[in-house]
Amino acid sequence: MIEPFADRLDSSEDGSRETMVANAEPTKEFFIEMLVKDIQLIRAIIDLVDNCVDGARRMRPSGNFDGLTIGLSTKNEEFSVQDNCGGIPLGTARSYAFRFGRPSDAENLDHSVGQFGVGMKRALFKLGSKFHIESGTSLDHFKIDCDVALWKSKPDWTFDFAIASNEPGENIGTKILVSDLHKSVKDDFGLENFQSELARSIRDAHIDSLEAGLSIMFNGNQLTFEPLTLMSSEILKPALFETLIEEEEGAQPISVRIYAGLGESDPQRAGWNAFCNGRLVLGSDQTEATGWGEGNGKTIPKFHNQYATFRGYVFFDCNDASRLPWNTTKTGVDLDSSTFKAIRAEMIKLMRPVINFLNHLDKEKENPDDQRPLHDAVGGMKCVTIKETSTSGKFEYPQPKPRKKTPRSGRIQYNKPIERINIAKKILDIKTHREVGSLTFDYYFDRECT
Amino acid sequence: MASFEKVNYTLRPAKSIERKMLCECFRRLTPFSEIESYRYVGFGSTYFSDFSLIHRSLGISNLISIEREEESSERFEFNLPFRSIDLQMGQSTDLLPELDWSPRTILWLDYDCKINADVLADVATFCRSCTSGSVLVVTVNSQPDSESDQCRLKSLTRRVGESKIPTDIDPSRLGGWGTAECSYRIIGAEIESTISHRNGVLPKDNKLDYRQLFNFHYRDSARMLTTGGVVYKQCELSETNACRFEQLDFVRNAGDAYEILVPNLTFKEMRHIEAQLPRGEGGIEIPLDEQDIVAYERVYRYFPIFVEAEL
């Protein structure tokens, strides 16, 4: 007979009940070696940029970032990121900034992009085995030097300040330097393709802040950006859906704006882009995550180059960043979140008329060049920034002319011995195989089917 | 060949009965708003039988007919029975998402095909967009594929996609009304999941519920399934209850289908039975099987009368 589980816990001899627990303490290895596997190097670096952007937002709640700069360097077998975005207050550094995970009593920055209390540490461990952080505010400053191997070997979960002072910092801002880079990181930094991919990803992720005046220098060069645009004119207007999600009482509302329309033909950049508090989390998505292929391709077709002009933008904004539907690596949306599920349905509703128009446009290609009114209509159309678009909410587009009534036809193909075809040709007094097929069909049809 | 070229829609007795039953149910939507203010969207074909009935008996004038046979558009236009029908040519999967869904709508997706991804796409479009108090009706051909059990399941899977097939479907149960039962479940699941996603961000009172009203089985030739119901905001539960749908004996809230049986009776027999209906205490005296009498008793109010006439 099997004893009930609870009885087996009475293991002490005197019969008193011992408290039996299982050890669930985290290990440093988990953070240093495991967690870093879940994020790509580029994404880890962007996490550090996110912290700089949060600094800018803390400093300038108005959202004008003119004069604020973030500089990144991947040269000389080191990595550094430096900003003049206000610095980390000593108190925050002491109690929150280096905690693994975000304590619930941590001060909330409205509309922040750092949220999970994991990004900076994960990025540092991902990059190398030594890091140096210095930060100064108008009130205080500090420095931390850390050798990860030594830190790992000590039992407590603290980082020692090299300097912690209540004097204002010499420079207002934060500098992070990572040295002893891991071999794979060093290898990547040596590749030109990696550099450009990294620069492009940083630019795309923070296009919203760049538009707000933030300057990002990458290895000495300023990152340039193109604002988000859509085609908009009298006859073609993008769709726009806006809503405020106030599901739970007391929770901060999430504002959502969705645009769907057309851009320049570019299969690489076509698709949906999702932003959480201005941070791109999903770029040019052409997968089922954003509705492509929904309903076995019947509600929305799978992405295809015929939709290379499709552009969709969805912006989630919330003062409480924890309510946003993003994943911790900020590389995608949280598909299971009820917010995203409902918004995805709205995205599908908005994109369907755009797909219809692109299908009409594709069908028009069968017409001779001078009979393509839809192509003519969109051909010379310019894109404008999404703020400048005019829209009634609904996607408006030039309607295709109804097709003329033509009897439907089908093609019949078959093979027959050439000698017999030639005999038929001779008797029918015609020259082509095609005519043999057609006339013999008519011959049969006249006699048997009428 | 499109089905309107094969079948005269007005001569299908079970379909005709179903149409009238649906109409009687729609009439009960008044707690939401006057029935005349509803919009009706359907596939009118060239006969527009449903449109005639809806307009004549309910007074609904906001009518949209979707017709995919674009080549015959002139013929459809010629046959429009009322001026207020907005004939829209194209595929329902393309056109339904472009409609303005703010009016309360009765949408009858009256397909003659079997359930497939297009059907589910249209069902989802409705559920994603409809206003509270709107009614969805879906009719699909549910004749079992004349194949072996496994082939039946495979061809069903091919049509709707594997993720839509209920996990406990027994392939050997797709004969008879089995395909209808399976189609019913697939449509129900699509309605449920689309509404659940939509509810994700709606405030508590505005969350939507679906109440199934229809689960008809009938056969004029092929076995057909009609299912559907009303979508309403949770704060309009009392309006929904006030419709008293359950007073109609053909209304079905679950998987037990109402089979529309059409007994084959002569005019004289029908008139004789009717004269004794609604039934009093005694039996009905007529030399017929009791089951035929009962079948007629259930449908006599909706029974079509076909006579040859030169109009």
Counting other chains too, the contacts that A358-365 makes at CB distance below 8 Å and 24 or more residues apart are A358/A262, A358/A306, A358/A307, A358/A309, A358/A310, A359/A306, A359/B94, A360/A400, A362/A306, A363/A400, A364/A400
- Residues of chain A positioned with their CB less than 8 A from the CB of B121: 294-296, 298-299
Copy the structure tokens of residue B223: 């076995």
Distance from CA of B265 to the nearest CA of A (A): 38
Residue B10 has pLDDT above 60, yes or no: no
Copy the structure tokens of residue A345: 């349905």
Q: Under DSSP, is residue B107 helix (H, G, I), strand (E, B) or coil?
A: strand
Burial letters for A318-352: b for 16+ Cβ neighbours within 10 Å, e otherwise? bebbebbbbbbbbbbbbeebbbbbbbbbbbbbbbb
Copy the structure tokens of residue B15: 């379909």
Phi and psi at A282, nearest 5°, equal: -145, 120
Taking the C-alpha atoms of residue A184 and residue B106, their distance in angstroms, rounded to an integer, is: 62
Q: Where are the extended beta strands (E) located within A86-172? A: 128-136, 141-147, 161-165
Structure-model confidence comparison of residues A165 and B22, the more confident one: B22
- Residues of chain B positioned with their CB less than 8 A from the CB of A402: 70, 73, 89
Indicate the burial class of A206 (C-beta count within 10 angstroms; 0-12, 13-18, 19 or more).
buried
Return the closest-CA partner of residue A40 out of A331, A334, A335: A331
Whether B121 sits inside 8 A of A246 (CB atoms) is no
Residue-by-residue pLDDT tens, chain A, 450 positions: 555 555 555 555 555 566 788 988 888 888 888 888 888 999 999 999 999 999 999 899 888 999 999 999 998 889 999 999 999 999 888 888 888 887 777 777 777 877 667 788 899 999 999 999 999 999 999 999 999 999 999 988 889 999 888 888 888 999 999 999 999 999 999 999 999 999 999 999 999 999 999 999 999 999 998 899 999 988 899 999 999 998 777 788 999 999 999 999 999 999 999 999 999 999 999 999 999 999 889 899 999 999 999 999 999 999 888 899 998 888 889 999 999 999 999 999 999 999 999 999 998 888 888 888 888 888 878 899 988 888 888 999 988 876 665 667 788 989 999 999 999 999 999 999 999 999 999 999 999 998
Copy the structure tokens of residue A165: 């002072």
Return the closest-CA partner of residue B216 out of B92, B156, B299, B126: B299
Given the structure tokens 């061809």, which residue do they identify? B155
The predicted pLDDT at position B58 comes to: 96
pLDDT tens digits, one per residue of B160-174: 999 999 999 888 899
The vertex-A190 CA angle with A184 and A194, nearest 5°, equals 85
The mean per-residue pLDDT over the stretch B282-304 comes to: 89
Distance from CA of A243 to the nearest CA of B (A): 10
Q: Count of alpha carbons within 13 Å of A377, Cβ hemisphere only?
A: 21
Q: List residues in chain B touching A: CB distance below 8 A.
A: 70-74, 89, 93-94, 97-98, 116-118, 120-121, 124-125, 128-129, 160-161, 194, 197-203
- A254, A296, A344: which to substitute to probe chain B, counting the most B Cβ within 10 Å? A296
Return the closest-CA partner of residue A258 out of A355, A345, A326: A345
Whether A247 sits inside 8 A of B201 (CB atoms) is yes
Residue B7 has pLDDT above 60, yes or no: no
The mean per-residue pLDDT over the stretch B247-273 comes to: 93
Whether B97 sits inside 8 A of A349 (CB atoms) is yes
H/E run at residue A56:
helix A41-59
- Residues of chain A positioned with their CB less than 8 A from the CB of B94: 352, 356, 359
Angle between helices A418-428 and A433-448 (to 10 degrees): 70
Compare CB distances from A353 to B98, B129, B160 and report the shortest one's residue. B98
- B130, B201, B208, B231: which to substitute to probe chain A, counting the most A Cβ within 10 Å? B201
The predicted pLDDT at position A387 comes to: 86
